[in-house]
Structure 1
């Protein structure tokens, strides 16, 4: 039996990280960014990026007494003649010299970890952009003093795509359940990034329409069944390539013993899950689900111990969130229409072709020419640096005889007070490219309008490219 209501309660009351702790992570993230920005850390900071289960939305409530943690990547430009270890060591120096953090840090191979009185911790890893090739990302191993390729943004996009392919956000929820199962059973081990990849690999592009993921318990049965089949077909330690960086074997830490144990336990729990799902008697089904997840599954969520734990957490200062905070927490879709479609934008005056061509906008960011990092619409960016926009017509650079005009629109209190809401049309600085300066906090937008010079007709225009300046 599916026991959907019991699953919903169990996720909310036992598995999911609660809002208080999420707010603590968000506030710590903002404070850490402020410290690094205001320090004398030598590398130029391009942006900050939530990473790991926090970014993937698979973070779970820790087992009682353990801290919950989050990963942060600091994208930086390369420093001339710096070795890999210097990026981590100098970041550690910044926090050691800060009176608030000096007694809270530990330094590991790739990151500086801030530990908050045993309640939570945050791993901060520098990532160097464009050291060898323009689009390369490299984390820094201070122990071996080497740079290592990484693709955190692409990996997050891949996981988001796997979740969307199944529909209903059920892949993320099933991932949380299996991480919870690992943590409470403690009889098998699998690093979170490896487990997340293994589960993502079980999703097919056509799953959304297949009926395999209509709800959480069905999704759990499907994904664990597929994972078990995959494991049983591989009696020896497999290579599990990072789906966006094939040279990285994510299963490199597995030994024959640890892999065999993981393979055996997934097979065991697959049987228990199938039995609980197939059971038609409600009470018997609850008993079988409790065999999988423990006695708290399907019980009334009184949870006195949890309430006591919450009471010990420090209170949050009341803050008024603006549109930038809204995007950071909930995404662009949570913004009001008057921000997404501001009414002070100028109306185009060109006569339009009846059949408009597809126009898209891309962007790169950076302070040093030749070291520009690609960014995406809606990504949070640091102020006081340039951003370069370029237009595409049907996926290609527009040919000779076409001109790109840019409608640049600002929003937010700062831009309004400075009389800089804009919304007018601007010419390209060079063919089909426009350079802007990131200045005002807010959610701003850039749109490309491509005009055929021979008859001044508008052949197509893009959707807004949203620029979020913190």
Structure 2
């Protein structure tokens, strides 16, 4: 078997957000959050704000095909969902948006999108949380304000480790609570959500998978965006499905990728994916049967490639198979030079095109 850890490390380095991208995201969300906190009217109804999404779960990858990196900003308000319509909640932010992001924002079904030069921001307005969640919201707010240096080091920061462990060790009674509600202006309802549970679950899963889970997620998200751009499932639904199919106790990224694809391939019919924090919600709810059928067909083929790459006893053959799966960001075969260092033995990585 050929797990090729050094190759996968180089591959992951090439698909993980760069320090400049992290800095741009940090500048974008910190500026937005500072403006929200200092807005004369909105500051009176905002109690907390923090980040959610792949950026703060440490599963984000570099965007492909000219797309921008993105981050979600949860804005916790004191609004009473029983006395405020979803449309009214979003409309409260329009004067602020007109002042700071004129012609750069779009009010969507359940969020407010802001498109900047280098990043996309999503404001997710939420109704007041339960009092029992106030401490955890403070911790999330603290994590969300960490410098880009901490975030690029993922969980190497003791500050992040302490806060994440405290989140993960909440007792079960608190864990079952759903503290936040988001407005769906199209359905005209407030929907339950629990972004904190997604973060806790990801942290626990990464520990259970010997630290490889987040890397498996990044690798498979890259595969999906590269080989099947724009096709569903994508974004968080894809990550959630990866989480359900990735085994614990894996010993390499290569093993995790292979077993995850094989487990997906074994699920022929579209499953009901229980939301981590709101189990009655189906994360695949908006995925059609036809979309899943097409996705499943693709996974079946790709799982064969991954298995051949993992089982090969010939490193050269294994590397070519992984490159077939992941494209040119996966390193070409390397040979030891006389000095003991490594050098490429093939053509330069193609900077553009399908496998950019």
How high is the TM-score relative to the length of structure 2?
Answer: 0.75
- Name the structure 2 match of 1:157: 200
Asked if 1 retains the 8 angstrom alpha-carbon contact of 2:28 and 2:119, the reply is no
Indicate how the Cα distance of structure 1 residues 304 and 269 shifts in structure 2: closer, same or farther if over 3 A, else same.
Answer: closer
Cα 1:277–1:50 change in 2 (3 A) is same
Higher strand content, 1 or 2: 1
Counterpart among 309, 312, 324 of residue 276 in structure 1 = 309
What displacement does 1:176 show? 0.9
Deviations 1:163-207 (CA, angstroms, capped at 9, x unpaired): 111112x11111111111111111752132212222222356xx3
- Match of residue 178 from structure 1: 220
Q: Does 1:92 find its partner at 2:94?
A: yes
Q: Alignment partner of 1:294: what SS?
A: helix
CA RMSD of aligned residues (A): 2.5
* Greater RCO structure (CA 8 Å; 6+ sep): 2
Map of 2:300 onto structure 1: 267
Give the 3 Å change call, closer, same or farther, for CA 217–105 of structure 1 in structure 2: same
Q: Which secondary structure state, in structure 2, belongs to the residue aligned with residue 29 of structure 1? A: helix
* TM-score between both structures, scaled by the size of structure 1: 0.58
Q: Which consecutive residues of structure 1, in runs of 5 or more, have no partner in the other structure?
A: 307-470
Partner secondary structure for residue 254 of structure 1:
coil
* 1:225-278 deviation per Cα after TM superposition (whole angstroms, max 9, x unaligned): 22323x1xxx33222111321111111112221111111111111110000111
Corresponding residue of 2:235: 192
Counterpart in the other structure of 1:41: 42
CA distance in 2, matches of 1:90, 1:104: 17
CA distance in 2, matches of 1:133, 1:239: 30
2:104 counterpart residue number: 104
More helix by share: 2
Conserved? CA contact 2:328–2:349, under 8 Å = no
Alignment of 1:199-278 (within 5 A): 199-203=242-246, 207-208=248-249, 213-229=250-266, 231=267, 235-278=268-311
Q: Is the 8 A contact 2:37 2:43 kept in 1?
A: no
Q: What is the rounded CA distance, in whole Å, between the counterparts of 1:97 and 1:186 in structure 2?
A: 38
Question: Shift of the alpha carbon at 1:303?
Answer: 6.3
- Against the structure 1 CA distance between its residues 247 and 177, is the aligned structure 2 distance closer, same or farther, given a 3 Å change threshold? same
Residue from 170, 176, 188 that aligns with 1:145? 188
- The SS at the match of 2:215 is helix
Paired residues, number: 291
Gaps of 5+ in 2: 134-177, 333-343
Distance (whole Å) between structure 2 residues aligned to residue 142 and residue 102 of structure 1: 21
**Distance in 2 between residues matched to 1:58 and 1:113, nearest whole Å:** 21
Rounded to whole Å, the distance in 2 between the matches of 1:122 and 1:34 is 14
Correspondences of 1:396-435 after superposition (within 5 Å): none
Q: For 1:322-361, what aligned pairs fall within 5 Å after superposition? A: none
Cα separation, partners in 2 of 1:20 and 1:103, compared to 1, 3 Å: same
**1:25 aligned partner:** 25
